[in-house]
Amino acid sequence: MRSNRVAAGVVLLALAVSYPLTEISPAGLISGLGDSVHFVFGTADRPGSGFFPPNFSRMDVFAHQMLITVGMGLWGTVLCLLLAVPLSFAGAQNVAPHWLYLLTRPVLDFLRGLPDLVLALIFVAALGLGPFPGIMALAVSSAGSLAKLLSEAIEAVDEGQIEAVRASGASELMVLQYGFWPQILPAFMSLTLYRFEVNVRAATFLGIVGAGGIGFYLQEAMRGFDFRSTCAIILIILITVRLVDWGSARLRARII
């Protein structure tokens, strides 16, 4: 109980210290809501202002770019797995030697701390404009997060089952195959599908720095103050993300 009170006190102190730094202003939010409504829906004295009705005149282009964006999320997730799976075993205390565990954890922290947009800029400089730099940025940036979550799933396995497989004279590879894998498979599938959903969302904005997909057209519309095309693109993104979430949830329910 004392530790809970201490933790609550630390959180409250952090909130109190950070409040003036964050410039939170409920009064400013309330007074500015009217301007936000005018920005989104337009005003009578400015014909053509606002986001509605959305402009779908370039629907074929937007839909094609959205498909590219989903493909970026898919390939980013697949390539991410190639990095995340070995890193997850190397970062699990109950599997990796202690020295390897100590080396791997900072690597996972480093990968999780790299912003997607910065990585996209780096890969655009190396590979040029297009979806491939975005795919590589997603693969590297998401590998750290996925590997960390998978390593925690590996550390939570039932050691009794592992010892039973070892006692049968199985090799270490067979221990991984028959001892660890059946136990971590549900978490592996669930986390991979979740990572795919996140990568599709992230891919929608990588085009802002030239890494392919719908993000480039979103930036183009916003810079040109073409808010009705912006609205159309946002609606396409929202519908696509919802479909991806729904499909992932159905697939997850069938597999797990």
Give the C-alpha distances (Å, rounded to integers) separating 96 from 58, 84, 104, 105, 256.
53, 15, 10, 11, 27
Residue 147: predicted pLDDT: 87
User: What number of residues does the chain have?
Assistant: 256
Residue 207 DSSP class: G
What pLDDT, on a 0 to 100 scale, did the predictor assign at position 1? 66
The encoded tokens of residue 164 equal 């039973």
- Predicted local confidence at residue 255, as pLDDT: 67
Q: Cα–Cα–Cα angle for 110, 116, 119, nearest 5°? A: 75
Q: Which token pair is 192?
A: 């991979």
Architecture of domain 59-255: Orthogonal Bundle (1.10)
- In the prediction, which pLDDT does 168 show? 72
SS3 for 221?
Answer: helix
Distance CA 199, CA 98 (A): 32
- Per the listing, tokens 């929202």 go with 238
pLDDT tens readout for residues 45-89: 676 667 788 888 888 888 888 898 888 889 989 998 898 888 888
Confidence (pLDDT) at 99: 86
Q: What is the pLDDT of residue 256?
A: 63
pLDDT digits (tens, 9 = 90+) for 110-150: 888 888 888 888 888 888 888 888 888 888 888 888 888 88
Query: Does residue 175 contact residue 49 with C-beta atoms inside 8 Å?
Result: no
Domain residue spans of the chain: 59-255
Please confirm whether the linkage preceding 131 is cis (ω < 30° from 0): no
95 pLDDT more than 80: no
Three-class DSSP category at 188: helix
Mean pLDDT of 93-112: 83
pLDDT band at 170 (very low <50, low <70, confident <90, very high): low
pLDDT tens for each residue of 172-230? 677 777 677 777 777 788 888 888 888 888 888 887 777 778 888 888 888 888 888 88
Closest CA to 116 of 143, 149, 81: 143
